[in-house]
C-alpha cells in the first residue's frame, strides 16, 4: 500500500477544469443559438436533455468498472469524468463549427 500523495489529484483537477470550460462554451453557444444569433436545429433542445441521461449511464458504468478493477481514487475520478469530457468536447467542437458557419 502506498501513501496518499496530494499530487494524485492534480490530473483529475485539470480534467475537471477542462470539462467546466467546455461546458460553458456549449451552454453559451446553445443559448446564443436559441436567441436566434444563428440557425440552430430544432432537435438541439431535445439533444441537450437526452444526452445527459446517456452521459450519466456511461459515467456510472465507468465508475463501477474502475472500482471493480481496483482503481485508486484519482484513477476512479478520471474514469468517471472521461465520458463527460468526450461529450463536452464533441459538443463544443460541433457547436463552434455551426456558429462559425464552417
Is it the case that residue 1 has pLDDT exceeding 80?
no
4 is a domain residue: no
Phi-psi bin for 41: left (phi > 0), alpha (psi -120 to 50), beta? beta
Range of the domain at 71: 41-102
What percentage of the chain has pLDDT greater than the value 70?
97
pLDDT for residue 102 = 64
* d(C-alpha 94, C-alpha 73), whole Å: 32
35 is a domain residue: no
12 is a domain residue: no
17 is a domain residue: no
| Spatial CB neighbours of 5, under 8 Å, sequence gap ≥ 6 | none
Is it the case that residue 30 has pLDDT exceeding 60?
yes
What mean pLDDT do residues 15-37 have? Answer: 94
pLDDT-based confidence at residue 81 (cuts at 50, 70, 90): very high
Amino acid at each position: 500500500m502506498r501513501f496518499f500523495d496530494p499530487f494524485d489529484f492534480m490530473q483529475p483537477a485539470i480534467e475537471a477544469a477542462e470539462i467546466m470550460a467546455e461546458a460553458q462554451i456549449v451552454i453559451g453557444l446553445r443559448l446564443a443559438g436559441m436567441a436566434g444569433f444563428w440557425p440552430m436545429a430544432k432537435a438541439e433542445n431535445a439533444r441537450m436533455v437526452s444526452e445527459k441521461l446517456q452521459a450519466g449511464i456511461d459515467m456510472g458504468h465507468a465508475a463501477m468498472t474502475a472500482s471493480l478493477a481496483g482503481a485508486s481514487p484519482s484513477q476512479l475520478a478520471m474514469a468517471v469524468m472521461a465520458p463527460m469530457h468526450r461529450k463536452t468536447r464533441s459538443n463544443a467542437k460541433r457547436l463552434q463549427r455551426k456558429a462559425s458557419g464552417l
